Amino acid sequence: MENKDNLVLEYKCLDYGFVRLVDWMGDDSSIVQAARVSYGKGTKSVSEDTALIRYLMRNLHTSPFEMVEFKFHVKLPIFVARQWIRHRTANVNEYSGRYSEMPDEFYLPEPDQLRLQSTLNKQGRGEATIDNASDVLSRMKQTQERLFQEYSELLATGLAREIARINLPLSNYTEWYWKIDLHNLFHFLRLRLESHAQYEIRIYAEAIAKIIKQIVPIAYKAFEDYILEAIRFSRNELNALKLLINKELPPDEKLAELGLSKREIQEFKEKLSKI
C-alpha cells in the first residue's frame, strides 16, 4: 500500500499477517523543533538539523523523539501479540473475541523454522532443523482445524462467544491498533530486531523499521549508528580493555574518513581518556 508521497506503508508478515501504518504525527523536523523549543520550520540548515538529531540520539536525550507518533494496524498470531504487549509504552485496542467471532486463520511456520531447542538459549530455537517437519506441520494443522471446528459447533449451540473461544490455540490470528511514540518504538525495535528475538516477532519489527525509516530517515540512521549497531561495555569490560587498547590515535582526518564528525571525534577522545 502506497500513498501520494509514494511511501510504502504496508508489509505482509508471515502467512496471514501484516503491518500497516494508518496514521502518524511528525517527522525529523518535529524532533528538531521540539529540541529547540521553537515554532515554525526551516530555522536551521538540513546539515545542522541532522547534527542535532544525531547529538540527541548519541547522548540519550530522548524526549524530543517522543514528539513523533505512529499508529499501526497489525494482524498477528496471538502468541506474537502476547510477546509484543510486554512493551507497555503504547496504546492498544485489540480485536474482541467476545464481541465478534474469531477468524478461521492460524499461523503455520515454514518448514525451515521447525528447529530443535537451542542448547545455549533456554527460551529459543537453535539452528538445527527437525527431520520430520512435514509430519509436525500436518499434526499442527489438524489440531488447528479440529479446535476451530469445535469452536464453530459451540457457537452453533448458542454458547457465548467469550466462552466458546477459550480452547482456541495461540496460533489463531488477532488484530489491533497500536500507537506509540518514536522513542519507545526505537526501544521496541532495539529488542525485537536483535538476532535472538523470536523469528516471528522479528519479521514484524523488520516491517515496521522499513516503514518508519521512510518518515524519519535522519532519526532512524542515528538510531542504527548509536543504538542498534552499537555495543555497550560494562565497567569490568572497560578495565579489561585498558590492557588491550593502544591510546595512540590516528589523525583527525583519518577518523573523519570513518564517518565521525568533529564533535564525535572530540567525544571519542574524551571516552578514551577515561579508559
- Which residues participate in catalysis according to the annotation? 192
Nearest residue to 106 via CA among 219, 14, 208: 14
Which residue reads 488447528 in cell numbers? 144
C-alpha to C-alpha distance for 10 and 236, rounded to whole angstroms: 44
Would you state the cell numbers that stand for residue 30, as one nine-digit string?
Answer: 518535529
Q: What contacts 242, CB < 8 A, 6 or more positions away?
A: 275
Q: What contacts 99, CB < 8 A, 6 or more positions away?
A: 161
Q: What is the dihedral of CA 195, 64, 83, 179, to 10 degrees?
A: -130
Which residue reads 532443523 in cell numbers? 129
Would you state the cell numbers that stand for residue 245, as one nine-digit string?
Answer: 587498547
3-state secondary structure of 232: coil
First-to-last C-alpha distance (Å) of the chain: 50
C-alpha to C-alpha distance for 200 and 107, rounded to whole angstroms: 10
Would you state the cell numbers that stand for residue 49, as one nine-digit string?
Answer: 538539523
Q: Is 155 left (phi over 0), alpha (psi -120 to 50) or beta?
A: alpha
